[in-house]
Each structure stands twice: as structure tokens, then as C-alpha cells.
């Protein structure tokens, strides 16, 4: 773990993990302050151009291993402040072959950022993305953001609806999507913001790439959304954040609450639904700062019928139930509790950089259902342990291993799960 681990999300598949509206793994705060950009920006650089070749490695249950190389090219000004990052990357995966991507991040001051991503794989996967955000427009009072992307995610899987769907019902599909999001908000106080988002999402369900699995279109031919969807949504987000650091906080409170009215323009009949989601986290340092207890509560609900399956609340993956692959469970409601103790084991200087090594035992508890509060007997319990390497204020890498009813699961990548 001495090397930087870079998951494929950073090379162009981030929308399927973080920025696709409707997924419960979406992080409202990172809509405005995404983490991956700052991990690259934190690399040391002098005035002019600096090239830092790095190995890239990732593993998820759904996608198997990714291995390759990343070569960030950082351009800094005379004050050694990074203004531009060009990050070409190559990755190999057994299912989609060779993947080539070029990532660009631009920083013109502390609040204005640009991002352009282009990614192409020899099989199926593609992505193009452009975004802009200004978190301090109008002298720091306003938030403005815009994002557009088009991608094909070859690793989408579907098991059916409900908390007791068996692993044997796993199916594969490729999600082809186009997304546009426009956001405007107000920084009302030091720790409180409000954000309005208009989003458009066009989804097509195509054949998946896993040869050992049945196609979702064949196995679940009548599920709502299998014919595709054109979704138009209107979202209001309230955000309260007192964390001492975005990337590696050790104290503070984070609360995100949003409500969204969305509709499917692709079909007639019941085509409108309302979604509400709460994500609350608390960090409590103790043992003279060597340990940090982190607790998280997430609730999400959709109201109405005729909701496409990929717009419903989902659990599973590196940021929710870590004993399962991404989006393992889908239904109209979810609750999730994450409990994690982050224990600093020792510190070491490597190449003159101070590194911290953490062990993090955790427990993930959650379920989905069509009735959130009346049936809790089949709640999923995922115990596990994480190994983390940090270079403050940025998380350099993590390995989380957890156990669920489908067996063991391991995630490798960047950043804390929450």
C-alpha cells in the first residue's frame, strides 16, 4: 500500500458511483466538493510542470481487478499552487480489456474548478464528462455548478427488488446514460448551505459483459425501467457541515437532507415520484486523538409507483454495505447504519512524507424494503475491518474487507467510505 491506489471511478466512471442522481451512494457534499480531484491536487509540485508516474490498482466484487498506471502532470504557478492537472491513465480489466483515459482538472482559485474526462475501453465502456463549479461566487455567498456526461457502464448488475433477493438471481446489464445537472445554492452561514439542482437523466439498458450471468433484459423483462427512461428531476438539498477537513476529518458533524420530485418522460401512466434522503455522520475523537469513532445514519424513501429500478434506493458497495457488491439490494425504502472505529496504529516517514497507518474495525447494518418501519427482521449485518494509509489531510489508500450473507467482499481504493 505504499503506492497510490486509484480506482477506475477516478478515470471516468465516477458518475455511476457518486454523481448519478438517485443512487443512495451519492454524496451530496461531494456534488460541490468532490474528493478525487483533491487527492491528485495534494501531490507535491514545484513551479512549472511536475510529472509523477504512479501504479494504479483497484478491486471490487462486481468488476474484479483493475491494474495499470497513472501519470499526473501538474502545472503549478510561482507560488507552488497547482492550477492544472493532466492525468493520463491506463487500466486493464479482464471483462472490458484495455481502458485509456485522460483527466483534466483546473483550479483558478480556491473556489473555481473545472473538470474534463474522456475515457475509452476496447470493450463496451466509454465516458465523456465536463463540469464547472464555483463554491464562492458573489464574494463567497453563492454556489454555482454545472455537469454533463455520457457513459456506458458495463458492470451494472440486478438481483431483483427487495431485501431477500438471492445471489442466484444475479443478472448483468450495461447502463448507457446521459446526465445533465445544473445547481445553484446559497452559503447561508459558516456551516450551512442550501442547494437547488435541476437534473436530466437518460438511461438505456443494454447487454452486459459478464458471460457467466444471464442478461437482465431476459431475466427481468417486466421490471419497471427495463425499457429505458428519460428522467427530469428537481431537488432541494440542505447541508450542514462542521467537519474539520473534507478528505480526512477527525471531528465534526455532517448532515445532508434533500427532497426531489422526479418524473419519467419516456412512459405514460404513473410517472412521477418524490424522493427524500437523509445522510447524517458524526466523528468523535478520543484516546488523545489516536482513535476516532464514526457513526453514520442514512435513510431514503421514494413515494409513488412506476419508479424505474435504477432510481430506487440502493444498498451495497464500498460506501454502504461493504459485505456486498455495488447496488446489491434495491427497493422503495432503505435504512443504513455504519459504525467504524479508526485507530491510528503507527506513523512513518516515507520519501520525507509523514504517513499514518490505521486499522478500522466496522459494522454495517442496513436493509431495503417496501415498508421501512414494519419489517426489520431480515436486516443485513456486515462486520469487517479496514486497513488505511493516510497522508494528512488526504487519504492515500484503503482496503476494506467485510462479510455478508453472500460471503466475503473486498474493496480497494481511495478515500474514506463516509
Q: Is residue 2 part of a domain?
A: no
What letter would DSSP give residue 10?
A: G
CA angle 407, 408, 413 (to 5 degrees): 145
Handedness of CA 15, 16, 19, 21 (dihedral sign): positive
Q: Is residue 374 part of a domain?
A: yes
Burial class from Cβ neighbours inside 10 Å (0-12, 13-18, 19+) for residue 288 reads exposed
The tens digit of pLDDT for each residue in 204-225 reads 999 999 989 999 999 999 999 9
Q: Is residue 3 part of a domain?
A: no
Q: How far is it, in rounded angstroms, from Cα 38 to Cα 50?
A: 16
Q: Is residue 153 part of a domain?
A: yes
pTM over 0.95: no
Q: How far is it, in rounded angstroms, from Cα 144 to Cα 261?
A: 21
Of 65-69, 129-133, 305-309, 350-354, give the range with the top mean pLDDT.
129-133
Q: What percent of the residues of the chain are helix, what percent strand, and what percent coil, each to the nearest 5?
A: 10, 60, 35
Asked whether 149 and 128 are in contact (CB, 8 A), the reply is yes
pLDDT value at 328 more than 90: yes
The tens digit of pLDDT for each residue in 7-54 reads 334 333 333 333 333 333 333 334 444 445 555 666 655 667 888 888
The tens digit of pLDDT for each residue in 153-199 reads 999 999 999 998 999 999 999 999 999 999 999 999 889 999 999 99
Q: Is residue 1 part of a domain?
A: no
| Domain count for the chain | 1
Place of cell 422526479: 262
The tens digit of pLDDT for each residue in 134-153 reads 988 888 899 999 999 999 99
Place of cell 460506501: 319
Cα dihedral 330, 332, 333, 334, rounded to 10, equals 10
- Domain range spanning residue 292? 8-413
CATH of the domain at 129: 2.40.160.50
What letter would DSSP give residue 15?
A: I
Q: How far is it, in rounded angstroms, from Cα 349 to Cα 338?
A: 31
Amino acid at each position: 500500500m505504499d503506492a497510490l491506489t486509484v480506482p477506475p471511478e477516478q478515470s471516468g466512471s465516477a458518475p455511476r458511483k457518486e454523481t448519478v442522481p438517485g443512487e443512495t451512494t451519492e454524496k451530496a457534499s461531494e456534488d460541490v466538493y468532490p474528493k478525487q480531484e483533491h487527492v491528485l491536487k495534494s501531490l507535491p509540485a514545484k513551479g512549472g510542470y511536475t510529472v509523477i508516474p504512479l501504479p494504479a490498482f483497484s478491486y471490487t466484487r462486481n468488476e474484479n481487478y483493475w491494474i495499470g498506471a497513472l501519470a499526473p502532470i501538474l502545472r503549478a504557478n510561482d507560488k507552488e499552487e497547482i492550477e492544472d492537472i493532466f492525468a493520463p491513465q491506463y487500466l486493464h480489466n479482464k471483462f472490458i480489456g484495455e481502458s485509456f483515459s485522460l483527466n483534466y482538472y483546473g483550479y483558478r482559485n480556491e473556489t473555481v474548478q473545472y473538470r474534463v474526462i474522456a475515457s475509452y475501453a476496447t470493450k463496451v465502456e466509454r465516458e465523456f464528462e465536463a463540469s464547472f463549479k464555483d463554491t464562492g461566487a458573489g464574494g463567497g455567498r453563492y454556489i454555482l455548478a454545472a455537469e454533463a456526461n455520457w457513459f456506458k457502464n458495463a458492470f451494472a448488475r440486478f438481483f431483483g427488488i427487495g431485501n431477500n433477493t438471492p445471489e442466484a438471481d444475479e443478472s448483468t446489464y450495461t447502463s448507457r446514460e446521459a446526465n445533465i445537472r445544473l445547481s445553484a445554492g446559497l452559503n447561508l452561514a459558516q456551516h450551512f448551505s442550501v442547494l437547488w439542482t435541476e437534473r436530466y437523466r437518460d438511461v438505456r439498458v443494454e447487454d452486459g459483459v459478464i458471460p457467466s450471468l444471464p442478461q437482465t433484459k431476459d431475466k427481468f423483462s417486466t421490471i419497471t425501467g427495463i425499457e429505458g427512461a428519460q428522467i427530469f428531476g428537481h431537488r432541494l438539498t440542505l447541508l450542514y457541515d462542521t467537519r474539520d477537513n473534507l478528505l480526512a476529518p477527525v471531528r465534526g458533524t455532517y448532515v445532508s437532507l434533500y427532497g426531489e420530485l422526479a418524473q419519467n418522460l419516456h412512459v405514460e401512466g404513473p410517472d412521477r415520484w418524490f424522493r427524500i434522503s437523509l445522510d447524517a455522520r458524526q466523528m468523535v475523537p478520543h484516546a488523545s486523538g489516536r482513535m476516532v469513532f464514526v457513526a453514520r445514519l442514512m435513510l431514503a424513501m421514494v413515494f409513488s409507483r412506476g419508479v424505474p429500478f435504477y432510481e430506487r434506493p440502493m444498498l451495497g458497495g464500498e460506501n454502504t454495505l461493504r459485505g456486498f457488491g455495488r447496488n446489491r439490494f434495491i427497493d422503495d425504502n432503505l435504512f443504513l447504519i455504519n459504525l467504524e472505529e479508526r485507530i491510528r496504529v503507527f506513523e512513518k516517514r516515507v520519501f520525507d512524507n509523514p504517513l499514518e497507518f490505521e486499522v478500522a474495525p466496522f459494522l454495517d447494518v442496513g436493509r431495503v424494503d417496501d415498508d421501512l418501519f414494519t419489517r426489520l427482521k431480515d436486516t443485513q449485518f456486515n462486520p469487517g475491518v479496514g486497513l488505511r494509509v493516510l497522508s494528512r489531510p488526504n487519504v492515500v489508500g484503503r482496503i476494506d474487507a467485510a462479510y455478508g450473507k453472500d460471503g466475503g467482499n473486498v474493496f480497494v481504493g481511495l478515500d474514506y467510505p463516509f
